[in-house]
Chain A
Amino acid sequence: MSEPTKFSLVKPTIDTPFHIDFEWWKQHDSDWRVFLFNLLCDYHQNVYKDQDENVVIDFIDPKTAEVKSVDGLLHTLLNHCAKMTDFTSHDSSLVSTVFRVFLSNNNQPLSPNDLSKIINRPANTILITLSGPTVYKGIRPFDKK
């Protein structure tokens, strides 16, 4: 298991990139899988409802038929459900919306400025929310290291 990243001492700005730090989230929120499950589309909620929440699946490469063992919930969420057109358009809180944006873009780092253009909320509001004392759903500044 990789060591969770520590807080940076540098104060984030509206240009500081953020992302979902899954490792940090796993360490600090025992309900993170429940939350992920709720984000699955109806079809996949049905598929995974009887599975262990830590289920590992055999992902089959669509071109080569190579098999890789991957985290079932996360893989399905990132590669299928988060790609659905209405995934980011749910009427929800700022934090949930930002979280969905990161899931839909394969967790590519985005700054409050970038996010502001996507979710149409002020960059400063996003910055204040994400850089406050509470870390929501593992969303933290992206450490380039």
Chain B
Amino acid sequence: MVAPKSLDPEYWEHFTVDQDDIEFLYNQLLELEIPQTQNSLIKLIVSNRIKNIRDAQEKEKEKVGSLLYLPKNSYEIGQTLIFPSMDWRNGQVDNVRKGFNPEFESFNVIDITFENGEKTSFASNLENHPLNNISATVATDPLLDINHVIEFYGDQLLNVLEKNLEKNTELVRIAGCWFPKALLVDINNGHLNLVEAVLEENKGGPLSTRQLLDQIEFKSPVNSQLMEFSLNYVLQDDQRFDEVGPAGEVLWHLKDMEPEDVRKIPSFLQYDKFDYDHEIVKPFLAQFEGDLFDELEEWEKVQVNVSEIKVSLIFPHWRSGTLPLSHSLSRLFPTAYEAPRVCFTFVDEENKKLFPGWVVRPHKYVYGLKEWYKANGLMPGSLVHLKKGDQPGEIKVFQEKCRQSREWMRTALIGSDQGIVFGMLKQNVFTTFNERMAIAVPDPDGFEEIWKTTNNKKEDINRTILRIMRELSKLNPQIHAQELYAAVNILKRCPPGMILNFLLTHKDIKHLGDLYFRISESSEGVDL
């Protein structure tokens, strides 16, 4: 069949990758000997498809030769012609006559009957008509322009390609690049043991693939990019190693030497998911006062400017030495295409000391601040300032110090019945804090023990919230949702939406306006 004059947009809209495309990519990778990103591969495929279409059009034009209708040519009765302007349909010349139009010197009119019986007439022996230059018409088709195709269909084509490549067992991917498995450099167990030893010597890592290749003195005649890709591939399949580099960088770490709270979610951050009506709480969530970020809260308003963020700590993160990787914070910290754990560097803004940090993407938290919190006298409710470092992959951390002072603070204590009680006590304060969320916890080890008890774990979240609300009511019967959120999190991990849902839907809680609530007097003391 003759290729159409203009490509149907459906050609790219319903694009699928076929075996010819895969073979073409395979050969290209073979020739280039360098692993390629998906973006490069899709450009190669699109450019090849366009070339094939153009070649087919040229061949068809050559094949049909004199049979292609061009206004400048002369035709005879009985000839069958192909009409580019009529979707390349075939038609037979029934009659030829002299044409008359004072605008043109001389031309003929040929009467045509198409295969479907439709009759129409066309000009012939007409030198001056744009259709005589058919190749120019085809050349201007935007659907045969690689830049146009990538701009308008690029994302969709990439999705289709990715799904196809993932199913292909002959091509392998690492750090966003693809290469034929069969052409990888052979790296044996001996090499891997050497890599393990090198990482062990370097406190587990992280080291780049290039550093590892240099240290194990691996030699091969192939180019360095292919060597790195090959080593990355075998390391990826070996359980001993973990790829921890941010997007665009491949860094390796020994899995066993990663901090325990990176390999496993810290107990304080574990949360039993509880369903509630998010639509009810959504408008109230926006009323929470700044600095509140919670990795469990899906409805957080994303901050546009994320070069610097101030986070108000809650007990679970304070105790775990972590930060919530909420929507806003995830835009500040390094991320990765595939690696679930990303190693980066914290820079203490005050003394310029560097220490490792980890972004744990699947569980949405950032680890590495336990010592820093302790050294700087932070407590639940303290404000942690974060901003992007001078180097890529560095995050500056600092706090606004205040002159050491003793202030009356809401303090969480353990009662004689091992339950939580709150009191206003004088506490040493070293940093600025969020007034609604600040709670001094003089005996964190005691709370850690309570946290671990089966009773605490098994208690229904609504019961825990109510119990803590009653305790807070003893200090002030009007309770702000944000205060309750900070207090509940001393015993149980709980997102703010869940707290709001409880406050807004419980029959014995009275909404006083804004985010203030109180327990109805009639129900006080009743076990709800």
A positions within 8 Å CB-CB of B: 44, 47-48, 51, 56-60, 62-68, 72
Q: Across the interface, do B101 and A59 meet the contact criterion of CB distance under 8 Å?
A: yes
Knowing A65-B85, A65-B123 touch, does A60 contact B102 (C-beta < 8 A)? no
Knowing A57-B100, A58-B100, A72-B102 touch, does A63 contact B85 (C-beta < 8 A)? yes
CB of B29 closer than 8 Å to a CB of A: no
Q: Across the interface, do A60 and B85 meet the contact criterion of CB distance under 8 Å?
A: no
Knowing A63-B130, A65-B71, A65-B129 touch, does A58 contact B123 (C-beta < 8 A)? yes
Knowing A64-B86, A65-B122 touch, does A58 contact B101 (C-beta < 8 A)? yes
Q: Across the interface, do A67 and B131 meet the contact criterion of CB distance under 8 Å?
A: no
State the CA gap A109–B109 with chains docked (Å).
Answer: 35
Q: Across the interface, do A58 and B99 meet the contact criterion of CB distance under 8 Å?
A: yes
CB of B121 closer than 8 Å to a CB of A: yes
Residues of B within 8 A of A56 (CB): 100
Q: Across the interface, do A60 and B101 meet the contact criterion of CB distance under 8 Å?
A: yes
State the CA gap A65–B122 with chains docked (Å).
Answer: 6
**Quick one: which of B101, B103, B126 contacts A65, CB cutoff 8 A?**
B126
Contact indicator per residue, chain B 297-333, by CB within 8 Å of chain A (1) or not (0): 0000000000000000000000000000000000000
Residues of A within 8 A of B101 (CB): 57-60
| 29 contacts across the A-B interface (CB closer than 8 A) | A47-B103, A56-B100, A57-B100, A57-B101, A57-B102, A58-B107, A58-B121, A60-B71, A60-B107, A60-B123, A60-B129, A62-B130, A63-B85, A63-B130, A64-B86, A64-B131, A65-B85, A65-B122, A65-B123, A65-B126, A65-B129, A65-B131, A66-B85, A66-B120, A66-B121, A66-B122, A67-B109, A67-B122, A67-B123
State the CA gap A58–B108 with chains docked (Å).
Answer: 10
State the CA gap A130–B129 with chains docked (Å).
Answer: 43
Residues of A within 8 A of B11 (CB): none
Knowing A66-B121, A67-B99, A67-B109 touch, does A60 contact B130 (C-beta < 8 A)? no
Q: Across the interface, do B121 and A67 meet the contact criterion of CB distance under 8 Å?
A: yes
Q: Across the interface, do A64 and B102 meet the contact criterion of CB distance under 8 Å?
A: no
Knowing A47-B102, A65-B131 touch, does A60 contact B86 (C-beta < 8 A)? no
State the CA gap A9–B85 with chains docked (Å).
Answer: 48
Shortest A46–chain B CB gap in Å is: 9
Count of chain B residues with a beta carbon within 8 Å of a chain A beta carbon: 19
Give the residue name and chain of the A residue nearest to B102 (CB).
A47
State the CA gap A57–B98 with chains docked (Å).
Answer: 11
CB of B104 closer than 8 Å to a CB of A: yes
State the CA gap A65–B123 with chains docked (Å).
Answer: 6
Query: When A and B form their complex, which 10 residue pairs have the shortest distance between CB atoms, in order from nearest?
Result: A64-B85, A67-B121, A47-B102, A65-B71, A58-B99, A57-B101, A60-B123, A65-B123, A67-B109, A58-B101
Most B Cβ at <10 Å: residue of A47, A57, A66, A67: A67
Shortest A73–chain B CB gap in Å is: 11
Query: CB within 8 Å of A: which of B265-309?
Result: none
Query: CB within 8 Å of A: which of B69-112?
Result: 71, 85-86, 99-104, 107, 109
Residues of A within 8 A of B131 (CB): 63-65
Contact indicator per residue, chain B 123-157, by CB within 8 Å of chain A (1) or not (0): 10010011100000000000000000000000000
Shortest B110–chain A CB gap in Å is: 8
State the CA gap A88–B130 with chains docked (Å).
Answer: 31
Most A Cβ at <10 Å: residue of B104, B123, B126: B123
Give the residue name and chain of the B residue nearest to A57 (CB).
B101
State the CA gap A66–B85 with chains docked (Å).
Answer: 9
Residues of B within 8 A of A51 (CB): 102
Most B Cβ at <10 Å: residue of A47, A59, A60, A65: A65
Residues of A within 8 A of B123 (CB): 58, 60, 65, 67
State the CA gap A59–B102 with chains docked (Å).
Answer: 10
Q: Across the interface, do A60 and B120 meet the contact criterion of CB distance under 8 Å?
A: no
State the CA gap A110–B122 with chains docked (Å).
Answer: 36
Known: A62-B129, A64-B131, A65-B123. 13 other contacts (CB 8 A): A47-B103, A57-B102, A58-B99, A60-B104, A60-B126, A62-B130, A63-B85, A63-B131, A66-B85, A66-B120, A67-B99, A67-B121, A72-B102
